[in-house]
């Protein structure tokens, strides 16, 4: 038997800035956001239908609630989203002194706390105030703590399988950092550089962890996701996708054997867009699909 990688575009409805994919078991669906279109979206692989709820600010991340519905980080506030009624209920406003900031990527930790970080928006092409972002944790009792300060673009995040390490990306550091993580308190400490991206990998964006404890990092403008071994800090695999602006990834499907990868078309000029028919689509990647190997005749 030999292994191969199968890549398929499954969501053709294009996203300006598709991000934060999350597999929702109870709906057998993929949840994600289109940040710049200010939408939370849900795609069903059964019907191939995309449903969406529009919100009143750029929405950086979405996560599942145990009781149903979602928690979202939009603008500079945490909120609940009731999918059926489309009602958004604010939990807490943050960073009201930073009008150019907004929430970006977020994810729920092993104990149900929602970690999400902020960033400064560009005030002109390529112009952004530095180190204006932070990383916050929203607890189930609705209290919030600030975990990190002076972040440029708080981005991909996940936890080790033993719940002892927290992984985090600040995109403009072009690196993944590992922190010690206390699962009982939710606190992080002692950051260490885990992996610095190489030039052709471009900028790190979203991230997820697989069943073997390896990290997958989406490389925006690098057209790929890379697999990193946290034990060695080495890249061990590269999967190239058919569009450059690769934004995030997650595992899902019936047995979580499929990786879903989001992308964006915002940031591409007209000439580039004409050559990138898959920009903004969502891809399904099946890794190590077993193929029969035949003896040579």
The set of catalytic residues is: 205
- Residue 131, annotated as binding a ligand: no
- Which 3 state secondary structure label does DSSP give 201? helix
- Residue 288, annotated as binding a ligand: no
- Residue 113, annotated as binding a ligand: no
Measured CA to CA, the distance from residue 180 to residue 166 in angstroms comes to 6
Give the pair of three-digit tokens for residue 289.
């699909």
**In terms of C-beta density within 10 A (0-12 exposed, 13-18 middle, 19 or more buried), how is residue 153 classed?**
buried
Measured CA to CA, the distance from residue 201 to residue 237 in angstroms comes to 12
Please say whether the dihedral angle defined by the alpha carbons of residues 53, 54, 56 and 60, taken in this order, is positive or negative: positive
- Residue 155, annotated as binding a ligand: yes
- Residue 48, annotated as binding a ligand: no
Give the pair of three-digit tokens for residue 278.
């898959």
Give the pair of three-digit tokens for residue 90.
């604010």
- Residue 25, annotated as binding a ligand: no
Measured CA to CA, the distance from residue 92 to residue 99 in angstroms comes to 16
Name the binding residues.
19, 102, 104, 122, 155, 205
Name the binding residues for substrate.
102, 104, 122
Name the binding residues for a divalent metal cation.
19, 155, 205
């Amino acid at each position: 038997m030999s292994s191969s990688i199968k890549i398929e575009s499954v969501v053709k409805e294009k996203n300006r800035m598709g991000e934060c994919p999350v597999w929702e078991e109870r709906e057998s669906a993929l949840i994600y956001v289109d940040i710049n279109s200010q939408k939370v979206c849900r795609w069903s692989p059964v019907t191939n239908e995309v449903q969406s709820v529009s919100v009143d600010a750029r929405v950086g991340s979405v996560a599942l609630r145990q009781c149903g519905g979602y928690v979202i980080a939009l603008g500079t506030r945490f909120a609940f989203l009731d999918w059926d009624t489309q009602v958004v209920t604010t939990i807490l406003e943050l960073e009201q002194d930073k009008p150019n900031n907004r929430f970006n990527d977020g994810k729920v930790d092993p104990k149900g706390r929602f970690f999400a970080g902020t960033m400064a928006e560009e005030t002109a092409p390529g112009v952004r105030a530095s180190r204006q972002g932070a990383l916050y944790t929203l607890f189930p009792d609705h209290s919030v703590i600030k975990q990190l300060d002076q972040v440029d673009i708080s981005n991909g995040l996940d936890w080790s399988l033993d719940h002892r390490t927290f992984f985090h990306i600040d995109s403009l550091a072009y690196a993944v950092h590992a922190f010690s993580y206390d699962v009982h308190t939710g606190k992080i400490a002692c950051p260490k550089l885990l992996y610095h991206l190489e030039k052709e990998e471009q900028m790190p964006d979203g991230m997820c962890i697989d069943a073997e404890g390896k990290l997958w990092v989406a490389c925006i403008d690098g057209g790929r996701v890379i697999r990193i071994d946290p034990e060695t800090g080495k890249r061990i695999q590269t999967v190239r996708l058919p569009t450059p602006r690769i934004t995030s990834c997650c595992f899902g499907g019936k047995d979580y054997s499929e990786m879903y990868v989001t992308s964006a078309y915002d940031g591409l000029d007209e000439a580039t867009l004409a050559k990138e028919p898959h920009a903004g689509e969502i891809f399904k990647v099946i890794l190590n699909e077993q193929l029969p190997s035949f003896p040579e005749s």
